[in-house]
Structure 1
Amino acid sequence: MTDLQKEFLRLHVICGKKYAAIATKLDVPKPILTRWYEELRPERERIARIRNVWTTKKFTPVFEDFYNWHEALERKCHYCGITEAEIAKLLESGRLYTKRIPTRGRKLEYDRKEPEERYDNMDNIVLCCYWCNNAKTDTFTHDEFLEVGKAIKAVWRQRMGK
């Protein structure tokens, strides 16, 4: 994907700008923008999934702010450190199983470090795995669950043969 195409996606899909404004700003004819729109479908769908989470959780007033925050996150569980790639390997090898896997577990989730705070405080939000998110609930403090996460990390490392 070129820098111009990235800027097109940012302007159109993330910021909601119309083709006419984008064509002028990028100095690209509208037919090219239409072609890019189709060619970049997988990336548009990825952004749409992020927008869906933003809409559901009411993270920030401006989607672009949330999107930029989301893209800057390290893709591992804040508590136990497992990555989505490691989760996929454990699932594929049969060393990880949950009956919830069709709906939860393959991707990292959002957790509020302090559960009484709303989702719009981005300093309070971290990525975590389904297992840590499910176990933490609103019972443990952030600091308490960092300790629990160390034990969960040891289990994942053992299952991965590390």
Structure 2
Amino acid sequence: MLRREIDIKKERLIKMKLIGSLDNYKILNKEPEFKNKTIAEIKQRGNTIKKIIIKHLNLTESEFNEFENENQDIQYVKSRWSKDKEKGFKTITKFYKWYIVQPKTCCYCGVPENLLKNYFSKPNLSKRKRGKRLEIERILTHDDNNVYSESNCSLACYVCNNAKSDLITYKDFKHIALGIHNFWKTKFQDDNFTFPESFYNKNYKS
């Protein structure tokens, strides 16, 4: 199968996963090619949704498994999708596409997500629900300009996101973020990540 054809089918799988079609027969039943079928008829095509989709899209097991490697990102995006994000992102698919191309470093302090995953996996911290992943952050937060949108969002670490309240502008937060940056540098004893100076020179708008 040509790479482009695989990519098209993979994108279809991602959309189906985002809306729940790969996890629920009732939602799968709403897909165009299945909506005229009963759930019983759909189940006759395979004993699991995975096998039904592999057969329907003419995929190999390894091609489907390659898609499943992205499931953690898909699940995270699904968990973060909400009504207040619809205004700026419109659809969960657009939200996902925005998320996967974002640099996986904190926009405020520069800490990489992979270091956070290691740090918050320690036994004394592993029960925390937040920390291992960078969080979706609105840069502008004053009342008339605080929407979730591609132009007003970035990814921030748990510590920066917790420290920056709606009362502090992102430019004023720079001094606090520098302290958090130094905190992470000390924790990780890592000189490979830098403070994102250029972030504070941008002019954000929602």
**Structure 2 residue 116 is matched with structure 1 residue 115:** no
1:84 is matched by which residue type in structure 2?
A: E
Q: Please give the secondary structure, in 1, of the residue aligned with 2:136.
A: strand
Shift of the 118–33 alpha-carbon distance from structure 1 to 2, 3 Å rule, reads farther
Which residue number in structure 2 is paired with residue 86 of structure 1?
115
Which residue number in structure 1 is paired with residue 103 of structure 2?
74
Equivalent residue in structure 1 for 2:85, among 38, 58, 68: 58
1:64-87 residue CA offsets vs partner (Å, 9 max, x unmatched): 322221111100101111111111
- Which structure 1 segments of 5+ residues have no match? 22-27
Q: Please give the secondary structure, in 1, of the residue aligned with 2:140.
A: coil
Aligned residues: 152
Higher RCO structure, 1 or 2 (CA under 8 Å, sep 6+) = 1
Q: CA deviation at 1:47?
A: 1.7
Shift of the 12–161 alpha-carbon distance from structure 1 to 2, 3 Å rule, reads closer
Q: Please give the secondary structure, in 2, of the residue aligned with 1:122.
A: coil
2:91 is matched by which residue type in structure 1?
A: V
Which residue number in structure 1 is paired with residue 172 of structure 2?
144
Q: CA deviation at 1:147?
A: 2.3
**Structure 2 residue 157 is matched with structure 1 residue 129:** yes
Tell me the distance in 2 between the aligned counterparts of 1:30 and 1:113.
43
Q: 66-75 or 30-39: which moved more?
A: 30-39
Which residue number in structure 2 is paired with residue 30 of structure 1?
56
Which residue number in structure 2 is paired with residue 4 of structure 1?
5
Which residue number in structure 1 is paired with residue 185 of structure 2?
157
Q: CA deviation at 1:63?
A: 2.6
Which residue number in structure 2 is paired with residue 103 of structure 1?
129
- Which structure 2 segments of 5+ residues have no match? 20-29, 35-53, 191-206
Which residue number in structure 1 is paired with residue 73 of structure 2?
46
Tell me the distance in 2 between the aligned counterparts of 1:48 and 1:93.
22
Q: CA deviation at 1:155?
A: 1.3
| Fraction of identical pairs, as percent | 22
TM-score by length of structure 2 reads 0.59
TM-score by length of structure 1 reads 0.73
| Structure having the higher Rg | 2
Tell me the distance in 1 between the aligned counterparts of 2:33 and 2:152.
38
Shift of the 82–161 alpha-carbon distance from structure 1 to 2, 3 Å rule, reads same
Shift of the 86–45 alpha-carbon distance from structure 1 to 2, 3 Å rule, reads closer
Q: CA deviation at 1:123?
A: 1.2
Q: CA deviation at 1:129?
A: 0.5
Q: CA deviation at 1:34?
A: 8.4
Name the structure where helix makes up a greater proportion of residues: 1
Is 2:135–2:158's contact at 8 Å kept on the other side of the alignment? yes
